Structure 1
Amino acid sequence: MKNLEQYLEVSAEVKQALAEGKPVVALESTIISHGMPYPQNVETALNVEKVVRENGAVPATIAIIQGKLKVGISKDEIDYIGKKGLQVIKASRRDLPVLCARKEDGATTVAATMILAHMAGISVFATGGVGGVHRGAETTMDISADLEELSETPVMVVCAGAKSILDLGLTMEYLETKGVAVFGYQTDELPAFYTRKSGFKVDYRMDTPEELARVFHVKEQLGMRGGMLVTNPIPEEYAMDHDYISKSIEEAVEEANRLGIKGKETTPFLLDKIQKITGGTSLEANIQLVYNNARLASAIAADLSKC
């Protein structure tokens, strides 16, 4: 892309790995700034990178720092984003040119991470959960830009399903309309972030990383636009009871409605509220499912590098 080099900065390690055809896994930064408190956010981010390395891939944590679109940020930069926390702008597609022009900081959402990963040539991205259609969206039209990005940008997103604070039925319908297939890793049922159950079926079950890599490779060979959504259930030992977490979410949603919280503030508020309701259990579950997704994404990236 013309003039991209003046805005995009890929770390030397990531650049070398891509040039040599080694597996690389993109990681988002909103989980650092908006996902949990400091210093736990920084510790988790560094541990996710460690998990990726231990599973044979190179991690590329993505963020916007002083207007630079950075793919593969340093430990100091992760600490910088973590300390600033909620002061960092939660950046989606629409925010990228503004942050670059103003030379400001931004923590990338799923949508923005997909965009920057694709710019750098990275095909696999591990995150916690994707955004989706919010409850009550039939009147509010509150639908995450993550879903639109999945229909446009050729990056495979490995997650623990859509966040369970969402309307999962409408999220699945929206993805179908946009032509985005939802894959379940070793499951027929859509996982719902904190819990392995949702009551909704995935489009396709895949039992090995190799199968997922092969499908993505064929999609690329066919010249089809858009990404792939791989849903990987939270490990059994960290999964929360479906009824318990559903009740906690209902309480949090009711409070958000009562306080008039809307738009991009909704998800951080709900996740924080659920953490308090569950006495921190949801935060530990969140951390463990991210590690689990990083392991799977690394295995897929390794198989994809052999295609």
Structure 2
Amino acid sequence: MTLPLILSPEVREAKAGGQAIVALESTIITHGMPWPQNVETARLVEEDIRASGAVPATIAVMGGRIHVGLTADELDRLGQAKGVMKLSRADLAVCLAQGGVGATTVAATMICAQMAGISVFATGGIGGVHRGAETSFDISADLKELAQTPVTVVAAGAKAILDLPKTLEVLETEGVPVIAYGQDEFPAFWSRSSGLKAPLRMDTPREIALAHRMRGVLGLRGGQLVANPIPEAAEIPRPEIMPMIEAALAEAAAQGVSAKAVTPFLLQRLFEMSSGRSLVANIALVRNNARLGAAIARELAAG
């Protein structure tokens, strides 16, 4: 059995030429936005990376193969596909074995990026510890993946619907460097502020790239989380978003929404309560993370 990995022509050429490459997840395409906005946004993010001097590699499972980099036709097909599996470490192999179509979460994207020799991955926000995890044990596989897969992940922190203090505690326990970019505070996805101090701070892509290399030299397992705050003009400040989140959580509890259904429910209610501002902010922060990811990847490629 051979590794079911297919590189797009653009990614294959970039690897052959030693160019900077940035991995991108695909759940934002299949589970995050409706057609055609999902594909339009994905193309914007890819163009941001190209304009920043790197090559984008959107990752998805199609036809029982891991595609690292999608052609325009493949991106269109994925954006309109129905019944797409949402893949993490637990179900990646099953989807491949069944010849299915799957979109990669943070964890699965990290795994596939490492297989393809890609060291930097830009996303929106990581998963984390859900509220009430002390009884539900609902903790995202993203946190464990950050502890074992050597990929630098650029995200706007973790979504404020999560338990952010517990998320940071688990990351600390797992030995994951949490680096706030350009500020001392850990960002909270839609907001630049979470009220929590970040464990580490770095102010340049070069510093982050050097830390990534140093982890390899030291033989340390796992990657780095770079918490990149949303641009100020696009943020929904914490005092404004938190009442919406609390109201949405109360609605979810009253309606008996639980397990994997909670996050999609909350995101939809926040979209409605914010008159669409949450989605506008989401797009802005993903693009911002893509640009920073490209800058870090360029530093790594420069050696």
Cα offset, 1:19, TM superposition: 2.6
Match of 2:265 in 1: 269
Report the TM-score when normalising by structure 1: 0.96
Which residue of the other structure, out of 5, 8, 28, is the alignment partner of 1:8? Answer: 5
- Which deviations, in whole Å up to 9, do the C-alpha atoms of 1:30-77 show, x marking residues without a partner? 000111111111100011000000000000000011211111011222
The answer as to whether partners of 2:159 and 2:189 remain within 8 angstroms in 1 is: yes
Q: CA deviation at 1:91?
A: 0.8
For residue 95 of structure 2, what is the amino acid of its counterpart? L
Paired residue for 2:290? 294
* Corresponding residue number in structure 2 for 1:54: 51
Helix, strand or coil at the partner of 1:201: coil
1:31 aligned to 2:9? no
CA–CA separation in structure 2 for the residues paired with 1:198 and 1:4 = 45
Amino acid at match of 1:290: V
Q: Offset at 1:79?
A: 1.5
> Are 2:68 and 1:74 aligned?
no
Structure 1 unaligned runs (5+)? Answer: none
Aligned: 1:113 with 2:112: no
SS of aligned partner of 2:110: helix
Does residue 232 of structure 1 match 2:228?
A: yes
Retained in 1: the 8 A contact 2:193–2:237?
Answer: no
Hey, what's the Cα distance between the residues in 1 that align with 2:252 and 2:75?
A: 30
Please state how far the C-alpha of 1:193 moved relative to its aligned partner.
0.2
Aligned counterparts of 1:152 and 1:275: Cα–Cα separation in 2: 34
TM-superposed deviation, 1:255: 1.9
> Which 10-residue stretch deviates more, 73-82 or 113-122?
73-82
Structure 1 counterpart of 2:89, from 83, 90, 93? 93
Q: State the AA in 2 paired with 1:91.
A: L
Q: Which residue is 1:104 aligned to? A: 100
Q: Which amino acid aligns with 1:28?
A: E
Q: Which secondary structure state, in structure 2, belongs to the residue aligned with residue 22 of structure 1?
A: coil
Give the aligned CA root-mean-square deviation in angstroms. Answer: 1.1
Question: In the alignment, which residue of structure 2 is the partner of 1:189?
Answer: 185
Structure 1 partner of 2:247: 251
**d(CA) in 2 for partners of 1:243, 1:183:** 24
| C-alpha distance in structure 2 between counterparts of 1:220 and 1:255, whole Å | 46
Q: Single out whichever of 260-269 and 52-61 deviates more from structure 2.
A: 260-269
Aligned residue for 1:45? 42
Give distance in 2, aligned partners of 1:262 and 1:23: 41
**d(CA) in 1 for partners of 2:221 and 2:16?**
23
- What are the superposed Cα offsets for residues 137-172 of structure 1, whole Å, 9 maximum, x if unpaired? 011000000000000100000000011110000000
Structure 1 stretch 61-70 or stretch 186-195: which is displaced more? 61-70
Question: CA offset at residue 261 of structure 1?
Answer: 2.6
Alpha-carbon separation, structure 2, partners of 1:180 and 1:32: 27
Q: Distance in 1 between matches of 2:53 and 2:145?
A: 27
Which of residues 191, 197, 214 is equivalent to 1:201?
197
Q: Structure 1 4/220 Cα, relative in aligned 2: closer, same or farther at 3 Å?
A: farther
Q: Which whole-Å CA distance do the structure 1 matches of 2:256 and 2:87 have between them?
A: 22
- Give the letter for the 1:263 counterpart: A
Distance 1:60 1:127 in 2: 12
Tell me the percent identity: 56
Alpha-carbon separation, structure 2, partners of 1:260 and 1:90: 22
- Equivalences, count: 303
Deviation at 1:265, TM superposition (A): 2.6
Q: What is the CA–CA distance in structure 2 between the aligned matches of 1:124 and 1:131, rounded to whole Å?
A: 17
4+ aligned runs moved over 3 Å, structure 1: none
The reply on whether 1:20 has 2:28 as its aligned counterpart is no
Within 2, Cα distance between the matches of 1:239 and 1:11?
34
Q: CA deviation at 1:262?
A: 2.7
- Residues 60 and 102 in structure 2, CA contact (< 8 A), matched pair in contact too: yes
